[in-house]
Amino acid sequence: MLKQDYMQVSQDQPIYFEAPLQLLLFVDGRPKSRQQVQQICAYLKKLEDGYSFELQIIDVGKQPYLAEHFKLVATPALVKIKPAPQQTLAGTNIIPQLQTWWPRWQAAVEDFLQLEDNLPDFVDSGDLKASQSIYSVAQSAEVMQLADEVFRLKQEKEKLKEQLQFKDRVISILAHDLRNPLTAAAIAVETLQSTYNPNLGIFHKLKPGLVEHLLKQARAQMRIIDKMIADLLQVGRSHDTELPIIPQKLELGKLCLEVLAEFSDRYNAKSQTIERDIPQDLPRVYADPERIRQVLSNLLDNAIKYTPVGGTISLSALHRTSQKVQFSIGDSGPGIPEENRDRIFENHFRLQRDQGTEGYGIGLSLCQRVIRAHYGQIWVDNSPYGGAWFHFILPVYPS
């Protein structure tokens, strides 16, 4: 029976039809379509006077899965679901279409009823009815809804997994990088402590200029450590999957000299020679100073580690184009085999020769992530001294 009060298919309980002709009218909440829906319902009311059928009105806003199940592309739409085959009338001329198809639908119903009466006794006609009822449609829609929910949950799972992996990587990277400023600060403090005379209140064996230098170095390293701890806390709280980058105008040459000073005790202890070729007129780059400091620290740390006693480490900068600056750090160590020059930037990858040495294989991975986050490049080739020569490119600060 036609429901003039816009009875809708429940989202919780399936509707069972009994009439041989069953129709679904899909509507939406647009004011423009309301008049058209009223006209369709009025016309169907007239048809009901001469022929019994059942109609359910479905709001696509509340039952989107049913609309998806019937592959509707527009509303309002009138769908004949029984008897088979299913048929959809849509568009602005549903009533004229209905005028054409109504006699054919009546004939199809008569054929269906005759077929139903002639079914053998061992065939349950109820199964045939159920297979073509709104009950099976609701089941299909529920399955689609559950499939979408499973897909959404899988996406959330992958996102959470990616976030956890990112946090693990960053925590490992920062823990790795904390060693350098901690070592530099500890050396400065231990040197001051070992030369301090509490009775006289002076540092014997140390000139005032050196005492001032050591104090400045200790304070600078403490600021770096404080920034790294802040980064760890930020990563722990955030849902990011990339390193936070805050680019600004940066004097790359000046930053390089600061990092060199932090490592001076280490390369001096190995009597290594530092060769610098950094032009005075090198343009400023557009980069995050803390992140680039991490890159320089990791590359210089590796250069000192792998350069033998008395070896040479080179640092150079080149204004390649009006938009790019290239920085290079070379050493006179064993170098990187050509077949491994791409893989060394992978997380936790280590050369076979380095398996017994200190390290975690994450420093170069960090360097690559930082440089790529600046839309730059990083690579390695042979050093003029026979070792490794790492290069990276950063964008010039726009003038």
What average pLDDT score do residues 118-140 get? 51
Partners of residue 305 on adjacent β-strands: none
Answer whether residue 299 is part of any domain: yes
Last residue of a domain, one of 147, 167, 192: 147
What kind and span of H or E run contains 296? Answer: helix 289-306
Decide: 68 and 145 in contact? Cβ < 8 Å: no
Question: For 67-104, what is each residue's pLDDT tens digit?
Answer: 877 888 888 999 988 888 888 998 889 999 999 999 89
Residue 14 pLDDT class (50, 70, 90 cuts): very low
Q: Classify residue 282 by its DSSP letter.
A: P
> Which tokens hold the place of 30?
């647009």
Shared-domain flag, residues 252 and 137: no
* Interior/surface letters 226-258, b for 16+ CB within 10 angstroms, e for the rest: eebeebbeebeeeeeeebeeebeebebbebbee
CATH of the domain at 261: 3.30.565.10
Same domain, 256 and 135: no
8 Å CB contact between 291 and 362: no
Distance (Å) of CA 301 to CA 131, 167, 298, 382:
72, 24, 5, 18
CATH assignment at residue 119 = 3.40.30.10
Helix axes 289-306, 252-262, angle to 10 degrees: 50
Tell me the range of 11-20, 48-57, 283-292, 336-345 where mean pLDDT is highest.
Answer: 283-292
Q: Is the peptide bond before 76 cis (omega within 30 degrees of 0)?
A: yes
How far from the centroid of its chain's Cα atoms is residue 106's Cα? 56
Residue 234 belongs to a domain: no
**Cα–Cα separations (whole angstroms), residue 35 to 28, 129, 211:** 12, 33, 88
Cα torsion angle, 139, 143, 144, 145, sign = positive
Overall average pLDDT of the 262-269 stretch? 86
Is 223 among the domain residues? no
How far is 147 from 129, CA to CA, in rounded Å? 26
Boundary of a domain, candidates 147, 176, 198: 147
Instruction: Report the distance separating Cα 61 and Cα 290, nearest Å.
Output: 50
Q: Are residues 392 and 257 in the same domain?
A: yes
pLDDT of residue 239: 54
pLDDT at 333 over 80: yes
Domain contains 375 = yes
Q: What is the reported pLDDT for 33?
A: 84
Q: Give the Cα separation of 324 and 142 in Å (integer).
A: 56
Give me the chain's average pLDDT, please. Answer: 78
- pLDDT confidence of residue 46: 87
Are 143 and 273 in a shared domain?
no
Name the more confident of 385 and 310: 310
High-pLDDT (> 90) share of the chain, %? 24
- If asked whether residues 385 and 267 sit together in one domain, one would say yes
Written as six digits, the tokens of 234 are 């930020």
Confidence of residue 252 (pLDDT cuts 50, 70, 90): very high
Q: What is the mean pLDDT of residues 17-38?
A: 83
Domain membership of residue 76 (yes or no) is yes
Which residues on adjacent β-strands are paired with residue 274?
313
Last residue within a domain, chosen from 124, 147, 170: 147
What is the domain extent for residue 68? 22-147
Query: Looking at the domain assignment, is residue 8 inside a domain?
Result: no
DSSP state for residue 17 in the 8-state scheme: P
Residues 272 and 394 grouped into a single domain? yes
pLDDT at 123: 45
DSSP 8-state symbol, 344 = G
Token match 């002076």: residue? 202
* Distant-in-sequence contacts of 212-217, Cβ < 8 A, 24+ apart: 214/188, 215/188, 217/184, 217/185, 217/188, 217/261, 217/262
Q: Is 374 found in the same domain as 264? A: yes
**Gyration radius of the chain over CA positions:** 38
* Counted domains in the chain: 2
Burial class (CB in 10 A: 0-12, 13-18, 19+), 147: exposed
DSSP string across 322-363: SSEEEEEEE-SSS---GGGTTGGGSTT---GGGTTSS--S-H
Q: Is residue 273 part of a domain?
A: yes
261 and 124: one domain?
no
190 occurs within a structural domain: no
Of residues 69 and 137, the one with the higher pLDDT is 69
Residue-wise pLDDT tens digits, 284-322: 999 999 889 989 988 998 899 889 999 999 999 999 888
- Are 137 and 265 found together in one domain? no
